[in-house]
Structures are given as C-alpha cells and as structure tokens.
C-alpha cells in the first residue's frame, strides 16, 4: 500500500483509537436452559413452572423447542469455538435432572446430557460456568411453596450436591441462583415473570429470605464437601443497575442510595456483610407498624442465619444492563408495597456506559469482593443481522470495563455477554439479545452470525478494542 493511502486511512480512521485488552481478562457468552434448550418433555425431563404457566397462558409462543440446543449443543460449541471465547455460562435445568425436583427419582439421561456438554466445552478449550438455577423450578417444588417455603433450601441443597458430585471434577465456576431481585421482585412481586405473583408487600421479602438461605446452603455444601477436592468457586448472581440522582439535592441523592440498597444491597449485604441493609430493616419495620402489621414485613434473620449467609461468596457475579435517573418519591402510608418502602422513583436514562464503571466502583467500595465476574451484559434489539447498534453498545461498555480495571484498579476477572444467540426472552421471541440470529420459524432453527458476532470474535482474537 502506498504511503499516501496509508495516511488517508489513518486520517479517516483517526476517530477510532485502539486499546489493548489485558490477556488474562476472560471473555465469554451466556445462555440459560429454559431460554435455549427446548426438548421440554423429552428424555425424562419433568415439568417446570415455565412450561406449565406458559402453556396455560396460551401465548402462541412457548419454550417447547426454542433454539433446540438440547439437540444442537454441538453446533453451539462449534460457534463458541469460532467466536474464540474463554468461557461459556449456561444453566442446568433442575427438572431435567430431577423430574419432580427431589432426589426421589434421578433422570440419568439428563445427567448424561450435561456431561456431554461439559466435556465438549472442555475439549474445545472453553471453561464452563454453570448456573444451578436460572428460573425453571420443578413444578412440584413450586406446589410445595417454592420460594415462600423455607424447606426450599433443603431441596435446593440436595440438587446442588448432586451437581457437584457429577460435574465437580470438571467445573471450576459455579453460580447458585440467577438474579434474586428478578425472582423475588419481578416474578413473586410485580407479576412480570412466572409464576406471575403479585406479593409486592410481603411475599417478595419472604422470597428473599428463603432464597438467601438456599443460596447459602448450596455454597456451604460445596465449601464443606467439595472445595478441598476440586477447589472451585461458588457465587450468587446479583443484578444491579446504575442510578444517577435527578438533581443535586440531598433528597434525590438519598433516594438514589435507597434504590441501590433496595436492589443491590438487598442481596449483596447479607452475603458480603451480614444481614439486610440497615435502611431496609428500619424503613420496612417502620412502615409495617404504621400499616398495622404485627411484625415487619421483612423477615428478621436470627444471628445464626446471619452468620450462615455471611461470607457465602468466592467472587461477585454481576448482571447489569441499564441505568436510570432517580428521584425522591416518598408516599404516605397506603397499601403495603416494596415501591413505597423504597420511596423513590426512576426513569430510564440514555446510553451511559460510564454508569457501568460507576457501578463497578460502588460494588468494589461497598462489598470489597475478592474479584468481580460480569456474568451478563448486552443489548436488546429487533430481528436484524446488521446490528451495529449492538456493536456500539458493547464498545462503550467494554471500554468502561477497561477503565475500571486499568484506572480504578478493580479486580475484574471476566466479561460475559448475553447472549450467544437469540432465545426465548421470557414470553417473547421478538426481543433479541444474540450475537447469532436464530430463525424460530425454521424447524431446523438455523443460526446466522450477526455483525456483532464477527466484531466480538475479532476483539477476542486481536485483544484490541477499537474505540
């Protein structure tokens, strides 16, 4: 190439700088069983709450086949290999392993399936990150009370132990439960996710109480029975967004702090510091008393429970997607509700990757985790292959991540993009997060790479981010 052309290209491209990506920072992709496996009633699998509720709702869409990854797992591994990822985060379907959720019957075909998947990944040089629970609860466990029944921790512990026994020698990174906030707030409280409950005043807090004990049980079982043999790491996947106060008044910055405590702190505080955030304890107790309740709607942990849950982390697993503008919104006593307990409101902010960096700093300062693994981040779009909007989003977020690592010196060990491919977005196939398109009307579920897939592959191969 002539010198002049070089110069021209340099000038044209000069708005794009290049930034090195540390060699030891892992990049990966994520999926979850119900969203991608399909084969909902094959090979001995039991029924999950998502199967049951979606079928009953007659939505014209369901998770019966979705990406058909239960059969196409080898093709998925091929794609992951081509993408050059370090790790793949997937979840195990509890009812595929234990059809009614209990040890009463173990489905060997289910066990074998994940052995093949895990071996396939390892042979491809891809580290498996296994989520034990990503929302597909066995129907029977739900009928026993699901996350409202304290016995849930026993069943969950039994299931987790079985997974450690089977896959412990091959899996070094375990994630107990995906997004407690989504489960307790959105599924049990706000009716947005199965089981579509509206227990926004009290059931949500009971859910969080049971869920944290279940997480801690799974953590402790690994720690006591498997850690010395396999030396893996176990964590809880916590979701959080970033909030900027609407004004520089104290009321709005206090409101922002309350939101962060009620979203992130709700689960991070018991696990990293012991007990609920004090502000939750005080506000919910206070409002409950005024509402005429005999005791706080937020269950009180015993000291023994606090000690059992505190410290149940080997890393901080973070899912993050959005950022918002927060303002004070205190309400007089009306119906008991989480939203009034928070006493704030928030609206979606524009694209603000700097918020990601701020969130990472907030987590690092407050909870001082040994390390942070981003277990989900990504952009929702429509159905198209020229997804340059996704590339722009990722470029900004990964750039912010590198700032947090290099300038703020936060120990971030990996970044996991949601998602490998378009999948069943909890009620719809129209919301697409994949680097790879899936044709859901094709019986073969053909997969086609989007622009973002080629882009991600390129930055993983070159270890250079074009900003």
Binding flag, residue 241, ligand BGC (CB under 6 A): no
Parallel, antiparallel, or unpaired for β 323-328 and 344-348? antiparallel
User: Among 179, 241, 314, 341, which residue interacts with ligand BGC (rule: CB under 6 A)?
Assistant: 179
Q: Which stretch binds ligand BGC (CB under 6 A): 58-66, 178-186, 195-203, 272-280?
A: 178-186
Query: Nearer Cβ to ligand BGC, position 178 or 261?
Result: 178
Query: Nearer Cβ to ligand BGC, position 180 or 232?
Result: 180
Binding flag, residue 178, ligand BGC (CB under 6 A): yes
Query: Nearer Cβ to ligand BGC, position 157 or 427?
Result: 427
Q: Give the SS3 label for residue 274.
A: coil
Which one is catalytic: 37, 127, 179, 305? 179
What backbone phi and psi angles, to 5 degrees, belong to 230? -110, -20
Binding flag, residue 324, ligand BGC (CB under 6 A): no
**Rg (alpha carbons) of the chain, rounded to whole number:** 22
User: 442 burial class (0-12, 13-18, 19+ CB within 10 angstroms)?
Assistant: exposed
- 163: tokens are 């997974």
Binding flag, residue 376, ligand BGC (CB under 6 A): yes
| Contact mark string toward ligand BGC, 15..44, x via CB under 6 A | -----------------x--x---------
Question: From the CB of 76, what's the least distance to ligand BGC, in Å?
Answer: 16
Are the C-beta atoms of residues 270 and 349 closer than 8 Å to each other?
A: no
Written as one string, the DSSP assignment of 293-329 is: -SS-SSPPPPHHHHHHHTT--SSEEEE---EEEEEE-
Q: Which stretch binds ligand BGC (CB under 6 A): 105-113, 175-183, 403-411, 441-449?
A: 175-183
Question: From the CB of 321, what's the least distance to ligand BGC, in Å?
Answer: 6
Binding flag, residue 319, ligand BGC (CB under 6 A): yes
Which one is catalytic: 37, 166, 305, 376? 376
- What is the C-alpha to C-alpha distance for residues 263 and 260, in angstroms, rounded to an integer? 5
Question: From the CB of 462, what's the least distance to ligand BGC, in Å?
Answer: 28
User: Among 36, 182, 208, 323, which residue interacts with ligand BGC (rule: CB under 6 A)?
Assistant: 182
Written as one string, the DSSP assignment of 402-456 is: HHHHHTS---EEEEEEE-SB----SS-SSSB--SEEE-TTSTT--EEE-HHHHHH
Task: Clarify whether 179 is annotated catalytic.
Answer: yes
Question: From the CB of 340, what's the least distance to ligand BGC, in Å?
Answer: 24
Binding flag, residue 240, ligand BGC (CB under 6 A): no
- Cβ count within 10 A of residue 281: 15
What backbone phi and psi angles, to 5 degrees, belong to 135? 85, -10
Query: Nearer Cβ to ligand BGC, position 79 or 178?
Result: 178
**Residues with active-site annotation:** 179, 376
């Amino acid at each position: 190439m002539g010198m002049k052309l070089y110069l021209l290209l340099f000038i044209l491209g000069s708005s794009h700088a290049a930034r090195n990506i540390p060699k030891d920072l892992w990049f990966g992709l994520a999926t979850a069983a119900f969203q991608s496996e399909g084969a909902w009633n094959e090979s001995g699998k039991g029924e999950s709450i998502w199967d049951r509720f979606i079928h009953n709702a007659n939505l014209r869409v369901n998770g019966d086949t979705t990406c058909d990854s239960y059969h196409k797992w080898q093709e998925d591994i091929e794609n992951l290999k081509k993408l050059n990822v370090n790790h793949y985060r997937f979840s195990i379907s509890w009812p595929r392993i234990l059809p009614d959720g209990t040890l009463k019957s173990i489905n060997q075909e289910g066990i074998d399936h994940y052995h093949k998947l895990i071996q396939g990944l390892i042979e491809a040089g891809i580290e498996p990150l296994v989520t034990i629970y990503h929302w597909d609860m066995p129907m029977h466990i739900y009928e026993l009370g699901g996350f409202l029944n304290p016995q849930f921790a026993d069943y969950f512990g039994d299931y987790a132990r079985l997974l450690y026994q089977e896959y412990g020698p091959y899996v070094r990174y375990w994630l107990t439960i995906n997004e407690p906030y989504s489960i307790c707030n959105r599924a049990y409280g706000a009716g947005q996710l199965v089981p579509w409950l509206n227990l926004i005043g009290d059931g949500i807090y009971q859910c969080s109480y049971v869920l944290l004990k279940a997480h801690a049980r799974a953590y402790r079982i690994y720690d006591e029975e498997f850690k010395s043999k396999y030396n893996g790491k176990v964590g809880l996947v916590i979701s959080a967004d970033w909030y900027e106060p609407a004004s520089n008044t104290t009321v709005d910055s206090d409101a922002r702090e309350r939101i962060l405590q009620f979203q992130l702190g709700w689960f991070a505080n018991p696990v990293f510091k012991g007990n609920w955030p004090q502000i939750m304890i005080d506000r919910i107790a206070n409002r409950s008393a005024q509402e005429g309740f005999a005791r706080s709607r937020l269950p009180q942990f015993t000291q023994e429970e606090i000690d059992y849950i505190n410290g149940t982390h080997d890393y901080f697993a973070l899912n993050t997607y959005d950022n918002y503008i927060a303002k004070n919104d205190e309400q007089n006593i009306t119906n008991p509700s989480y939203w009034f307990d928070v006493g704030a409101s928030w609206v979606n902010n524009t694209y603000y990757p700097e918020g990601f960096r701020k969130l990472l700093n907030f987590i690092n300062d407050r909870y001082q985790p040994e390390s942070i693994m981003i277990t989900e981040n990504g952009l929702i779009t429509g159905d198209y292959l020229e997804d340059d909007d996704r590339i722009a989003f990722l470029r900004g977020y990964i750039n912010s991540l590198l700032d947090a690592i290099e300038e703020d010196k936060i120990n971030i060990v990996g970044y996991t993009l949601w998602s490998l491919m378009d999948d069943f977005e909890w009620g719809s196939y129209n919301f697409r997060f994949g680097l790879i398109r899936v044709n859901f009307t094709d019986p073969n579920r053909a997969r086609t790479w989007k622009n973002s897939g080629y882009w991600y592959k390129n930055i993983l191969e070159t270890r250079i981010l074009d900003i």
